[in-house]
Amino acid sequence: MRDNLDGVSVFVATAEAGSFAKAAERLSLTRSAVGKTIGRLEARLGTRLFHRTTRSQSLTEDGHAYFERCLRALDEIRMGEALLETGKREVSGKLKISMPLLFGRYCVQPILLDLAREHPKLELDLRYTDTLVNLAGEGYDLAVRNNGPGQGSGLQTRKIAAQKKIVCASPSYLEARGRPKTVADIGEHDALVYWRNDQPYPWSLWHPGGELMEPELRWRYQFDNQEAIVDAAVQGMGLAWVPTWLVRSEVADGRLVPLLEEFPSTPLNTFAVWQAAEFTSPRLRVTIDTLVARLQAAIDK
């Protein structure tokens, strides 16, 4: 179907100029091109818009009525474009964002609050949950998801960070139980396991030769919160496999000791997820770009 705005700007320019020749000069077109555009517009509308003489053109009654409405329409389009341009410079409006409980609280939230300070008209509705939310059904503009973007039609995703993980334990535990020297040795120790979807979340580490290994886990304690795992590890209850950002202070002050550092862990990838649309609002675009630019550095520091 032909664009209903086709020829409208030429028509308005001609009505304002008073002749095809003057309109052609303003639009950097030929007089013939202007005349043909007006002719096609009249044919589509089924009415004459101009009274034509050899020297000038004047609007018909239908032409006057159409001109007034075209002016209002073009003004609305210009206002819309100006609003978008303003949005690019001054981010405003509300964003409802879902993020994982701990990672969101400690890593994502500080970046978003800094962004809000930079853009005083940006409003944030921050929700924390380790359960996948339905973006469209629950009215979310953006979700930050660990390990995978999840399934769903009409979604766009972008990787925004990769979280490094380490195996660690307290000095008291290592003194009592010894230090694992290989990935296989993990099976001889008490593991503090993260419990997801009714099963333990597997540990995965890389052998220097390139082989991915998932050690057998033995445990007495299982948790659905990684901060609780860290607390148990500090108390000497077993080995923990957790993101490095979560135990930065415990490692720094010696309460936890990194283990098996020659066997790097598989990183935990983090994604931004939002609903696909022909246009992305400036506030959403700026927020995603900011997370891409700042999040990795924040968790690696």
Report all structural domains of the chain as residue ranges with CATH numbers, in order of start.
8-88 (1.10.10.10), 90-163+268-300 (3.40.190.10), 165-259 (3.40.190.10)
CB 60 within 8 A of CB 50: yes
- Answer yes or no: are the C-beta atoms of 186 and 203 closer than 8 Å: yes
> CA nearest 146: which of 166, 126, 168, 131?
131
Residue 1 has pLDDT above 50, yes or no: no
- Quote the CA–CA distance of 66 and 228 in Å, as a whole number: 69
User: pLDDT digit string (tens) for 65-99?
Assistant: 898 888 878 776 776 665 565 555 578 899 999 99
Average pLDDT over residues 286-293: 94
Q: Based on C-alpha coordinates, what's the Rg of the chain?
A: 31
- Residue 154 pLDDT > 60: yes
User: Which residues are registered as beta bridge partners of 195?
Assistant: 200
More confident residue, 36 or 1: 36
Residue 162, phi then psi, degrees to nearest 5 = -130, 115
Question: What is the model's pTM?
Answer: 0.68
Angle at 68 between CA 64 and CA 72, to 5 degrees: 165
**Nearest residue to 102 via CA among 231, 266, 292, 286:** 231
The helix (H) or strand (E) run that includes residue 228 is helix 226-234
For the chain, give the mean pLDDT.
Answer: 89
**pLDDT over 90, % of the chain:** 60
pLDDT surpasses 70 at 196: yes
More confident residue, 52 or 206: 206
Q: How far is 5 from 55, CA to CA, in rounded Å?
A: 27
